[in-house]
């Protein structure tokens, strides 16, 4: 296996506020890395710096061995795609699903839109009839499937997932998590997922980084986390809380 | 304080005909912690809001009985309803970002609630507001009272909402997804706070959520709603013995930290549940 993502000593400042400092982690190709933490711990900041949405950062980041600068080449945005928390907010309300799925193809000059759109819809288990609907005509779960399909259009290697299931009902969450697992197996995708839900992160990701106050205080495998072999007090605290609320 | 709902139906006229949002729901809620669980569109919020008659104008409401402590909510005039809303029953909504007034300080909003429901003067209301902020365990209540909602975190904002609802000493709190917009740690803090306040003040609580394990953790009884009906009502302690397929499905589709699952169960929706 080769390393797909390497983040080394990443720091992000907003004015005098250090939103992230000294964050380092690496993700193998085809693996999933989860980032958990409370609001304001810097987990989304790390993801936004990695995705190129925030160009003001320090440290080193690499994707597939190529160092990333503050401004990314167009090919980066083809290879790295993002899925956001709220499918209500991340799809254009006046554009049909067809339009949303065509746009990445046009941007990256990819030919044959027709079969690609149909294949993408099939891949996220949406009926072909959805293609000419508007977002408001779809349920929350269908919308998130469209958002995943849109991210897949440019045939990326990496998906960055920012709380992809937090806005969904638990039954829909299960469907989307299963879909993400299937897609990863089929396409050998590399995931970085941010969430505040420890159980969701441990389910999808083999390794979890715990953030607190802008620092990644511990990196632990999901197996160790489940077994209670975490060393940092904050990790233990989050685990205890998650376990307590699981037991009815 | 008793709430009696008997055979409640709520319909909405649409271009395609009548949409039945709530279909024959009955429940009896006393001085207890009662949870209503269901997915979006199951009718859980509409059911709870009907107790305060806070439904959209287009809603067509029918019920054999709908009473709040003996007051017939279906027939009560507006002034009788105003005496219930806020004063005897408070409603806490999901997202403090949208339910707090962005151009008033937190303190001013709580003072307004205090003065709307009592004869307190300005200074007295201010003192009460700061006292309420302290009761919802805000460490620096004076500072928070002078802060605007955008200067507060989500958890703080929700505490301010709770303080505001506590101002008139209500008998019932309806919390409609009070923690869905908050992260896991803050969520637990807010629910524990609600739990303590409800117990120490002897209030009744209706907690509405889509998270079944969470609700059963904090409630005595839980009603599970699906497509406008209560499909199962059970004691929170008996959750593991839930019988209905939908309740079981809700429990089984959750990823858990304690048991690793290769794949999550996806709910197979039985058309018979709709009957």
What predicted TM-score, i.e. pTM, was given to this entire model? 0.86
Q: What span, in angstroms and rounded, lies between the C-alpha atoms of B4 and B120?
A: 33
What number is the average pLDDT over the span A39-47? 90
CB contact (8 A) between residue B210 and residue A170 = yes
B274 pLDDT band, cuts 50/70/90, is confident
- Select from B40, B213, B263 the Cβ nearest to the Cβ of A140: B40
Distance from the B274 Cα atom to the nearest Cα atom in chain A, whole angstroms: 17
Q: Is the pLDDT of residue B233 over 60?
A: yes
DSSP string across B192-228? HHHHHHHHHHT-EEEEEES-HHHHHHH-SEEEEEETT
Mutation target vs A (from B152, B245, B264; most A CBs, 10 A cutoff): B264
A225 and chain B: CB distance < 8 Å anywhere? Answer: yes
CB contact (8 A) between residue B257 and residue A245 = no
Contacts of B185 in chain A (CB under 8 A): 38, 196, 237-238, 241
Contacts of B210 in chain A (CB under 8 A): 169-170
Distance from the B118 Cα atom to the nearest Cα atom in chain A, whole angstroms: 37
Contacts of B265 in chain A (CB under 8 A): 174
What number is the average pLDDT over the span A50-62? 94
Number of A/B CB contacts below 8 angstroms equals: 99
Q: What is the pLDDT of residues A122-151, one digit of tens each?
A: 999 899 999 999 999 998 889 999 999 999
What number is the average pLDDT over the span B116-143? 92
Mutation target vs B (from A203, A241, A244; most B CBs, 10 A cutoff): A203
Question: How much is the mean pLDDT over chain B?
Answer: 91
B123 pLDDT band, cuts 50/70/90, is very high
Q: What span, in angstroms and rounded, lies between the C-alpha atoms of B48 and B27?
A: 11
Q: Is the pLDDT of residue A221 over 70?
A: yes
Q: Is the pLDDT of residue B125 over 60?
A: yes
The tokens describing B214, both together, are 């969470």
What number is the average pLDDT over the span A42-55? 93
B31 pLDDT band, cuts 50/70/90, is very high
- Select from B188, B255, B266 the Cβ nearest to the Cβ of A241: B188
Q: Is B181 helix (H, G, I), strand (E, B) or coil?
A: coil
The tokens describing A33, both together, are 């890395």
Q: What b/e string do you get for B135-155 counting C-beta neighbours within 10 Å, with b at 16 or more?
A: bbebeebeebbebebeebebb
Q: What is the pLDDT of residues B65-112, one digit of tens each?
A: 999 999 999 999 999 999 999 899 999 988 887 889 999 999 999 999
φ, ψ dihedrals at A192, nearest 5°: -125, 120
What number is the average pLDDT over the span A195-203? 93
Q: Is the pLDDT of residue B222 over 80?
A: yes
Which superfamily does A3-246 belong to? P-loop containing nucleotide triphosphate hydrolases (3.40.50.300)
- Select from A38, A177, A226 the Cβ nearest to the Cβ of B264: A177
Contacts of B236 in chain A (CB under 8 A): 248
Contacts of A140 in chain B (CB under 8 A): 40
The tokens describing B233, both together, are 């009502």
Q: Is the pLDDT of residue A1 over 70?
A: no
Q: Which fold has domain B1-75+201-275?
A: Rossmann fold (3.40.50)
B259 pLDDT band, cuts 50/70/90, is confident
B239 pLDDT band, cuts 50/70/90, is confident
Q: Is the pLDDT of residue B60 over 80?
A: yes
Q: What is the pLDDT of residues A77-126, one digit of tens each?
A: 999 999 988 877 889 999 999 999 999 999 999 999 999 999 999 999 89
Q: What is the pLDDT of residues B190-217, one digit of tens each?
A: 899 999 999 999 999 999 998 888 888 8
Q: Is the pLDDT of residue A248 over 60?
A: no
Sequence-distant (≥ 6) Cβ neighbours of residue B53 within 8 angstroms: B73, B76, B81
- Select from A38, A178, A248 the Cβ nearest to the Cβ of B217: A248
Q: Is the pLDDT of residue B28 over 70?
A: yes
CB contact (8 A) between residue A226 and residue B261 = no
Domain coordinates in residue numbering, chain B: 1-75+201-275
Across A216-220, B34-38, B209-213, least confident range? B209-213
């Amino acid at each position: 296996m080769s390393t797909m993502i390497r983040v080394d000593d990443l720091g992000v400042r907003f004015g005098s506020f250090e939103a992230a400092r000294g964050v380092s982690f690496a993700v193998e190709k085809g693996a999933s890395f989860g980032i958990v933490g409370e609001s304001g711990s810097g987990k989304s900041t790390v993801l936004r710096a990695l995705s190129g949405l925030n160009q003001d950062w320090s440290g080193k980041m690499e994707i597939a061995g190529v160092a990333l600068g503050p401004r990314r080449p167009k090919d980066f945005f083809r290879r790295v795609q993002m899925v956001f928390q709220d499918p209500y907010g991340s799809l254009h309300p006046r554009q049909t699903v067809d339009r949303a799925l065509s746009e990445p193809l046009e941007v990256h000059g990819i030919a044959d839109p027709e079969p690609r759109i149909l294949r993408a819809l099939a891949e996220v288990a949406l009926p072909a009839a959805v293609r000419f609907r508007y977002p408001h005509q779809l349920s929350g779960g269908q919308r998130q499937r469209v958002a995943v399909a849109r991210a897949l259009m440019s045939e990326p290697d990496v998906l960055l997932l920012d709380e992809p299931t937090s806005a969904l009902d638990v039954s829909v969450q299960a469907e989307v998590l299963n879909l993400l697992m299937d897609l990863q197996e089929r396409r050998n995708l590399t995931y970085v997922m941010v969430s505040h839900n420890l159980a969701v992160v441990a389910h999808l990701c083999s390794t979890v980084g715990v953030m607190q106050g802008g620092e990644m205080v511990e990196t632990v495998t999901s197996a160790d986390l489940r077994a209670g072999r975490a060393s940092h007090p904050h990790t233990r605290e989050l685990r205890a809380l998650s376990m307590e609320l699981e037991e009815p | 304080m008793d709430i009696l709902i008997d055979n409640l139906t709520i319909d909405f006229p649409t271009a395609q005909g009548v949409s039945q949002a709530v279909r024959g729901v009955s429940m009896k809620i006393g001085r207890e912690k009662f949870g209503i669980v269901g997915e979006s569109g199951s009718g859980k919020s509409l059911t709870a809001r009907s107790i305060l008659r806070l439904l959209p104008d287009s809603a067509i409401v029918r019920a054999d009985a709908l009473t709040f402590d003996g007051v017939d909510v279906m027939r009560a005039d507006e002034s009788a309803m105003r005496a219930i809303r806020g004063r005897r029953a408070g409603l806490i909504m999901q997202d403090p970002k949208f339910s707090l007034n962005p151009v008033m300080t937190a303190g001013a909003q709580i003072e307004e609630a205090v003065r709307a429901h009592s004869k307190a003067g300005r200074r007295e209301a201010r003192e009460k507001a700061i006292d309420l902020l302290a009761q919802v365990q805000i460490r620096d209540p004076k500072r928070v009272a002078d802060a605007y909602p955008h200067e507060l975190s989500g958890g703080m904002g929700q505490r301010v909402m709770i303080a505001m609802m506590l101002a008139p000493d209500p008998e019932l709190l309806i919390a409609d997804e009070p923690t869905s917009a908050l992260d896991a740690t803050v969520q637990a803090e807010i629910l524990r706070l609600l739990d303590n306040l409800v117990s120490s003040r002897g209030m009744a609580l209706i907690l509405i959520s889509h998270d079944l394990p969470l609700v059963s953790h904090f409630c005595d009884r839980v009603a599970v709603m699906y497509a406008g009906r209560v499909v199962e009502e059970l004691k929170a302690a008996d959750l593991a013995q839930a019988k209905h397929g939908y309740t079981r499905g809700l429990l089984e589709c959750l990823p858990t930290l304690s048991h690793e699952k290769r794949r999550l169960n996806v709910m197979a929706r039985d058309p018979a549940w709709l009957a």
